[in-house]
Chains A and B, each alone.
Chain A
């Protein structure tokens, strides 16, 4: 039995009178690929914000790689984010005036030490060894997303959280990114992916469906 990397107990988030996430219990094991699905307004984004420590829950517990995060201060949440989480966004979100290599190095800069060789290797790993000196505006959407993936991996995070990573990609680039996720999974990375795309979810080990902020279904994807 693999160890549990992420666990939530009664995780709840309210915005005023609106309960966006309602007593969610879930566990994710090391090396597991979990997809979170659900219609708009089901609480997927709120869930991802809580899991990535970008936001704090109103109630409940969230333990990430042995750290109870629910009661952490903002500064401590930043440290958890830096040390344990690799984030991938739908809109890529790269610093526009830094090259691909420098964008990856920026994550190293905030984490610990900067090593250009390691950053370059991370880009080679996602198939962008020949594009390291290019600015985001000189890269295609798929290439930008691959820079994001390289940046998310560079600090060896305990978990990779991805928000609709193929949402802004064409079919060809979607396949490239999907292959990368499969490769990461094979390497034993823990992945949580928020998606609308059932085809993408099929590749995961487990799918959690949210509805009105509650877990409607938590089952194997196969």
Chain B
């Protein structure tokens, strides 16, 4: 029975034929394996996608917790004040997309109707972005040209018997300046602000007799992707009279929180992979168990251990790659749902997510196949072929 070219079949074709028919006939178990791998891959894809976006997005979220950059007069200059223009120019060095908010400040002691108080001149729109966590009864002052209103700390308001809508006289004896202001909002921060009165920066300068001068500026800058130390150094080089520096405690906390969230995501990914591996392993063990006679037959008619291992690994690989491909697509959709729910924005697609999902998922599938393949290879044909 010598074969001729016209009717001979490549061994690879026969291998694939057996492979796909074997998968087709066990479509239920194949479906379980496929969906297990798909769900695992989808979660890893979603977590990896969020992982790469989280730094940028969380960094912005964390900026809700206050300023993390300080600009003031250089200690060596001996000045307590600097020109407002100089500080404004320094602030302009911060890339626009990285600046969440900024306000310049000038402080001084003033007399109110019922006693003395610390007055802070601020840039209200900038301050609001800088300190979104402030609890305000009444309203924020929304514009930086409102010279008829003020905001007042909760404790100070209580001591001065002031409520939202009341008028308060601000008096500076040294300059003879006196102005009546309407309390637009009462501020509660739990810190020094609770004892202060806040007015427009320009007005404060005139009240204190220091028009055009400020004490310092506080900024909130997105740290992710920003060389914050380089920025500080650049400012000091351009403005030798200024001291520009990141507020270490806040910047460091940002990083710590991000690291913890990333670590948590990595742990979740490892748990998911472990569960997927166990699920796939259980299903593959069931598949091998119901195929022992078929394996015994293949061995009896000439299949060696390598043939059996190749068959089962190839089946697992096909289910693994198909599951991962579907998981990548599902995971990207899941990432968008997470992005919308947590950050209110879409998560960008990054190519790195593909190998980050493919490699561990397929590796987990093949790892899951290790015990079932070992079981298959150890089938003793003489035993299983005699069993009825």
Residue numbers of A with Cβ under 8 A of B are: 45, 49, 52, 54-55, 74-75, 78-79, 81-82, 87, 89, 91, 93-98, 102, 105-107, 109-111, 113-118, 121-122, 151, 154-156
Distance in Å: Cβ of B381 to nearest Cβ of chain A = 5
- Indicate if B249 sits at the interface (CB-CB under 8 A): no
B21 partner, pick from A49, A55, A97, beta carbons under 8 A: A97
**In the complex, B96 has a CB within 8 A of chain A:** no
Known: A45-B386, A110-B301. 4 other contacts (CB 8 A): A78-B302, A81-B301, A114-B11, A115-B4
> Can you spell out 8 A-B residue pairs with CB atoms less than 8 angstroms apart?
A45-B386, A54-B300, A78-B304, A95-B18, A97-B25, A115-B2, A118-B2, A121-B1
Name A115's contact: one of B8, B297, B301, B303 (CB within 8 Å).
B8
B305 at the interface (CB under 8 A from A): yes
Would you call A95 and B11 a contact (CB within 8 A)? Answer: no
Contact B304 A93 (CB under 8 A): no
CA distance in complex: A49, B4 (Å) = 35
Chain B residues in 8 Å Cβ range of A87: 300-301
The size bracket of the interface on B is 35 or more
Instruction: Flag if A109 contacts B14 (CB, 8 Å).
Output: yes
Mark out the residues of chain B between 334 and 388 whose CB falls within 8 Å of any chain A CB in the assembled complex: 380-382, 385-386, 388
Cβ contacts under 8 Å, B11 to chain A: 109, 113-114
Partner of A75, one of B1, B7, B304: B304
Cα distance A89–B384 in the bound complex, in angstroms:
12
| Residue contact B303 to A78, C-beta cutoff 8 Å | yes
The answer to whether B17 and A81 touch across the interface, beta carbons within 8 angstroms, is no
Say whether B382 contacts A49, CB under 8 Å.
yes
Judge whether B225 is part of the interface by a CB distance below 8 angstroms. no
Which of A105, A117, A121, A155 is packed against the most chain B CB atoms within 10 Å?
A117
Q: Is the CB of B192 closer than 8 A to any CB of chain A?
A: no
Q: Is the CB of A116 within 8 A of B7?
A: yes
Set of chain A residues within 8 Å of B1, measured between Cβ atoms: 115, 118, 121-122, 154, 156
Give A197 to B15 CA distance when docked, in angstroms.
39
- What's the Cα separation between A74 and B386 when bound, in Å? 19
Q: Which residues of B contact A54 (CB under 8 A)?
A: 300, 380-382, 385
- Provide the residues of chain B in CB contact with A156, threshold 8 Å: 1
B176 CB within 8 Å of chain A: no
Are the C-beta atoms of B14 and A113 separated by less than 8 Å? no
Q: Which residues of A contact B142 (CB under 8 A)?
A: none
Q: How does the 8 Å CB contact mask read for B289-302 relative to A, with 1 for contact and 0 for none?
A: 00001100111111
Q: Which residues of B contact A155 (CB under 8 A)?
A: 302
Report the nearest A residue to B387, measured CB to CB. Answer: A91
Which residue of B is nearest A80, CB measured?
B302
Given contacts A52-B300, A54-B300, A121-B1, is CB(A98)–CB(B382) below 8 Å? no
Asked if B7 and A91 sit within 8 Å, CB to CB, the answer is no
Does residue B3 face the partner (Cβ distance < 8 Å to A)? yes
B310 to chain A, nearest CB (A): 12
Give the CA-CA distance A15 to B19 in the complex, in Å. Answer: 37
Residues of B within 8 A of A151 (CB): 301
Alpha-carbon separation in the docked complex, A121 to B4 (Å): 13
A106 engages B14 (CB within 8 Å): yes
Closest-CB distance, A44 to chain B (whole angstroms): 11
